[in-house]
Amino acid sequence: MAKLVECIPNFSEGRDQAVIDALVNEAKSVPGVTLLDHSSDASHNRSVFTLVGDPEGIAEAAFRLCKLASEKIDMTKHTGEHPRMGATDVIPFVPVKDMTEEECVEISKKVAERIYNELKIPSFLYEASAQKPGRTNLAAVRKGQFEGMPEKLQQEEWAPDFGERKIHPTAGITAIGARMPLVAFNINLNTSDINIANAIAKTIRASSGGFKYCKAIGVMLEDRNIAQVSMNMVNYEGTPLYRVFEVVRAEAKRWGVTITGSEVIGLTPAKALVDCAEYYLQIENFDYGKQILENHLLG
Amino acid sequence: MAKLVECIPNFSEGRDQAVIDALVNEAKSVPGVTLLDHSSDASHNRSVFTLVGDPEGIAEAAFRLCKLASEKIDMTKHTGEHPRMGATDVIPFVPVKDMTEEECVEISKKVAERIYNELKIPSFLYEASAQKPGRTNLAAVRKGQFEGMPEKLQQEEWAPDFGERKIHPTAGITAIGARMPLVAFNINLNTSDINIANAIAKTIRASSGGFKYCKAIGVMLEDRNIAQVSMNMVNYEGTPLYRVFEVVRAEAKRWGVTITGSEVIGLTPAKALVDCAEYYLQIENFDYGKQILENHLLG
């Protein structure tokens, strides 16, 4: 294997096990593609799949899953806590090996075109695939959700990138795009005051003047009675984990608070953590591609 | 691919390019085996190869290279700065994936037996393969070097593990064994006093009461005029890199010295560095096997 792409489609079904099983079976049926992980949340009524494979296989899998979801999921009957606008709500493509973000942009466009041509489901291109400035951010794209989309699509600036100005009656509309791997990284504080976590989150997130590739909010871990800075690191090369960690540590000082621990949720590329070891161990001239043994085994 | 073993044979030839090329070609000719790296040093008159492959392929490659080295290298004419006792001086086998150290011990014994049966080159089993207590340490096994071996083999406790009490006339004797991956890790100090590097090395190395899986000496980097603590981390799980780094930092304080940087020489398993990120970022409950994306791609 040479080029590898990850695809993390989100489906608007997290309760009906028969539908989830059908999607799992479909994901496993595509040659050249491996289903790494899938998880479903009943209160969100949503499932997240993680697939990896060669560019052709992953494009085929994304299409087939979107097709099956459109047959099995009726958005007019969907309820759940998580914002959503389509049966297949979002399809991100992520470069994993010997791939650039640009190549993933190409894949996203091809898949979006095919989904409209064959399934009549329109789509917005988002993140690195965005063709218009307001479409980089998924939250902005999805605003209004399934129920508000018919009206939104009539607005001058909200024509879909593929398809006409109307949603698929039951499958809605899908966001499709390329992005760097996301690392879900949370830092726990020795305080039960969520205001402190919120204040710290504000200092590090891009939207409040912090790091360009960091999204952050404060949350309470009720079971442990501690506040947490919960982050999505959307480009660990542009904004490394250790840098936000050290800034969180420094900002926490102002409140007399310390870091008690952190969490990495789900998968992370090894490099996101090896980069941190490089920083803390002050390693000079480290060549990730050449010096990490495993990089010679993935050929 | 499932099981993967690394083999890092050291040959007593670092000057004659024709011999080095022949060994390279032989290494590349074995099915199921990849030559990851090879480097030769003229003053040491020694070459180090790094191969990886399935257990059967790697055993075959080790034998073939040892055979070729015995045909091309005459130890009676060998000079060089590095201690050595055989044309193929040492053959370590290292578990890389889905392998235990014990399985590598089995490989080392099979290869050692075949090398004696077919080539009449005797061997010592060392490191995790050692059958006698004094043979774990390569330096102890190799003491006396090629020239002193005929006499050493006559000593009660120094019968080879395979072969009779006499060396091969031109290929000498070989140390063969299994060990965990070794990480060559050096820490640079902002002092030109090698006595300080030596004093610090003494606090961290096993032989002076330090960490069990750390070997360390002080060296001068003449070109930069700084002293360095140069280490071989022989089991990064038993003695993690961050722990020696922090102890070196603490010991350096006594001399008013700080760490200016570090170096990882050659290859390292990703885990040796990810473990350090886990420590410094205080990551709770990290599951290396499951949470590192690449671990799902190595088949």
Closest to A277 (Cβ–Cβ): which among B188, B276, B292? B276
pLDDT at B34: 92
Q: Is A232 on the interface with B (CB under 8 A)?
A: no
Q: Is B223 on the interface with A (CB under 8 A)?
A: no
Tell me if A283 and B262 make a contact (CB, 8 A cut-off).
yes
pTM, two decimal places:
0.77
Q: Any residues with CB less than 8 A from the CB of A299 and at least 6 apart, and which?
A: A2, B34
Long-range contacts of B201-205 (CB under 8 A, 24+ apart): B201/B229, B201/B230, B201/B231, B203/B247, B203/B251, B204/B229, B204/B231, B204/B244, B204/B247, B204/B248, B204/B251, B205/B231
The answer to whether residues A232 and A215 touch, using CB atoms and an 8 Å cutoff, is yes
pLDDT at A297: 73
Find chain A residues with C-beta within 8 A of B274's C-beta.
270, 273-274, 277
Active site residues of B: 82
Chain B residue with Cα closest to A299: B298
Chain A residue with Cα closest to B243: A281
- Write the ipTM: 0.76
pLDDT at A183: 95
| Residues of chain B where predicted confidence (pLDDT) is lower than 50 | 1, 299
pLDDT at B98: 79
Size of interface A-B (CB pairs under 8 A): 136
Residues in chain A: 299
| Phi, psi for A67 (deg, rounded to 5) | -65, -50
Question: Residue B54 corresponds to which tokens in the numbers above?
Answer: 């399935």
Question: Residue A56 corresponds to which tokens in the numbers above?
Answer: 């052709």
Find chain A residues with C-beta within 8 A of B291's C-beta.
264, 266-268
- The per-residue DSSP string of B134-148 comes to GGSSHHHHHTTHHHH
Spell out the per-residue pLDDT of chain A, length 299, in tens: 478 899 999 999 999 999 999 999 999 999 999 998 899 988 889 999 999 999 999 999 999 999 999 999 999 999 988 899 999 999 999 998 888 899 999 999 999 999 999 999 999 999 999 999 899 989 999 999 999 999 999 999 999 999 999 999 999 999 999 999 989 999 999 999 999 999 999 999 999 999 999 999 999 998 899 999 999 999 999 999 999 999 999 999 999 999 999 999 988 999 999 999 999 999 999 999 889 988 877 54
pLDDT at A298: 54
pLDDT at B81: 84
Distance CA B158, CA B112 (A): 16
Mutation target to probe the A interface, by most A beta carbons within 10 A, among B281, B282, B295 is: B281
